[in-house]
Amino acid sequence: MKIKQYQVDAFATRAFEGNPAAVCPLDGWLDDDLLQAIAEENNVSETAFFVPSEKGYRLRWFTPVKEVDLCGHATLATAHILFEKLGYAQQVITFETRSGDLFVKRNGRQLEMDFPASSLTPCEISAILVEGLGQRPIEVLAAEDYVAVFDCEATVRAITPDQGLLSQLDLRCVVITAPGSEVDFVSRVFGPKFGIPEDPVTGSAHCELAPYWAKKLGKNTLSARQVSKRGGTLTCEVKADRVVLTGSAVTFMEAEIAF
C-alpha cells in the first residue's frame, strides 16, 4: 500500500518556522492502529488524515501517542494542501471533526480558520503546576488545558519546565501566557502527556487564549505570537462563540508512505 503524504510548516511564512504537520489524503479510513503507527513514525506534533464527505472532508488528528479532539495547525496545513496541491476550487472548506464542523477560508495568501471558542474557568494554583513551571503564575484557568497567566513576556520566554511534573496534571496541556511587547499576547504550550514536550504553534490553545485576552484588553481582534524556539504568529478574532484564527503555511516536503 502507498499513501501520499505532505509535510507543512503551519503558521509560517517560510520553511523551518511555525509548526510542522504531516498531512495524508485518504480515499477511506484505514485501521486506527495504522493511523496511530503512521503518526508515531512521523514524530511531528500532529499528523492529519482526511477523507471526502458530503459536506467537504472528515478530518482527524493524531499526535505520536494518541488521537486528539482538536488541532489548529494541522487543520491549517490540511487546508493549505487542499488549496495549493489538490486543486480545491471553492473559497471555503468544511471539515467534519470530533469538535464539530470547522471552516477554513482562503483570503489571498492567508487562511482563516473558524473554530469554536473555549471558555476558561479560574481554578486553584496547584503545587505541581508551580513546581513544574518553576514560577508562580498570577492566575490559573482551565478548559481543555491549564492556562497559567504571567505578568510579562520575558517570564514566559525564560521558563524551562519540568516535563515529568507537568505530565502528572490531569488536563491536555499546560499553556503559559502573558501580555506581549510587540503583539497583544504571547504564549507557549507544553504537552508531555501527548508526546509533545513543547508545541511550536498551537491553534487550539488560541481558542482558549483569544477570548480571555479579548476580555482583558477590551478588543476582539488580537495579534498573537507563540514564543517557542521555532515561533509563529497569528491573528485572532473573537466572534461570539467562535474564534477566527488567521495564518499562512508553507509546503516543506512531498513524499509517499510505502508499507
Active site residue ranges: 46
- What is the dihedral angle through the alpha carbons of 225, 228, 232, 234, rounded to the nearest 10 degrees? -30
Question: Are residues 11 and 234 in contact, defined by beta-carbon separation less than 8 angstroms?
Answer: yes
| CA-to-CA dists, residue 130 to 30, 148, 149, 202, 214, angstroms | 42, 9, 12, 22, 26
Q: For residue 86, count other CB atoms closer than 10 A to its CB.
A: 12
Q: For residue 93, count other CB atoms closer than 10 A to its CB.
A: 23
The DSSP letter of residue 31 is P
C-alpha cell at 247: 495564518
